[in-house]
Amino acid sequence: MPEAAHLADVLSHRLRGLVSGIVGFTDLLLEQLPTNGQRDLAMRIMESAQRIEHVVADLKHFTREVTPEPEEIPVSVLLSEVVRRLPDEIAERLRLDTDSARRHAVMADRYLARDIVLHLVRNAAEASRPPAPIGISVTYDARTVCIDVMNDGSVSEEARLHLFEPFFTSKARNLGVGLPMSRRMARLQGGEVRHVEEAPAGTTVFRLEIPAAAAA
């Protein structure tokens, strides 16, 4: 999608300067405001401006051209890299199936696979309230390794129909490209991302299916 990628680059360049100006002027304004209420409103303006940057970053990430570079990666190493990049408040909620992770390896692009699992974990964290746990389990079926990310809660019937449609989201702060982007990155590596319909009642499970390494 070269035209979309070019548009995302142009938007990012133009908006970055505008957002930086809003944040800078708001920061100066904070020093002049006399009441806590006024300062709180100014902080909300600053946070809203910064969210624009996050949305544009998601758009750039979604439209970029990618060529996977597969290599053999132990699942335990992949999950360790995911945990290191999570905020502490999310990492503390993780429940990892470390035994299965140590037994299997995948043939995948290290960075794409890591980013897919990172998104699924962050998505699970946003969809459940702390301190509810986020489970990660690993299974091996024929030539495929499945990494399941589970959280408490359920997906509405309407959302289930549109989960992998770009720009569909129930979260006002998000652009709605995380799941579609994760699925695209998985398919580029011969894998898949899907919502597990047969998940236990009261839980939501998203699964990354990725080719197993020959030794797995």
Both 128 and 83 in one domain: the answer is yes
Domain assignment of residue 15, yes or no? yes
Question: How confident is residue 6, by pLDDT bands cut at 50, 70 and 90?
Answer: low
Which of 49-53, 64-68, 142-146 has the lowest average pLDDT? 49-53
Q: What are 165-215's pLDDT values in tens digits?
A: 877 776 655 667 789 889 999 999 999 999 998 888 889 999 999 999 985
Of 63, 79, 98, the residue that ends a domain is: 63
Q: How does the average pLDDT of the chain come out, rounded? A: 86
CA distances to 82, 125, 133 from 204, rounded to whole Å, are 20, 11, 12
Name residue 73's beta-bridge partners: 106
Overall average pLDDT of the 69-85 stretch = 95
Q: How many CA atoms within 13 Å lie on the side-chain side of 202?
A: 1
Show the 3-state SS of 59-74: HHHHHCCCCCCCEEEE
Both 157 and 127 in one domain: the answer is yes
Range of the domain at 10: 2-63
Place of tokens 């990354």: 208
pLDDT of the residue at 5: 65
Q: What's the pTM?
A: 0.76
For 5, the token pair is 């990628």
Overall average pLDDT of the 9-15 stretch = 75
Both 158 and 179 in one domain: the answer is yes
Residue scoring higher pLDDT (24 or 50): 24
Both 50 and 139 in one domain: the answer is no
Place of tokens 């890299």: 81
pLDDT of the residue at 78: 96
Place of tokens 């990725």: 210
Residue scoring higher pLDDT (65 or 8): 65
Question: DSSP characters for 130-178?
Answer: TT--EEEEEEEETTEEEEEEEEES---HHHHHHTTSTT--S-TT--S-H
Overall average pLDDT of the 77-106 stretch = 92
Both 32 and 137 in one domain: the answer is no
The Cα–Cα gap between 95 and 150 comes to 10
Both 142 and 43 in one domain: the answer is no
Domain assignment of residue 216, yes or no? no
For 111, the token pair is 């960075």
pLDDT of the residue at 216: 45
Question: How confident is residue 4, by pLDDT bands cut at 50, 70 and 90?
Answer: low
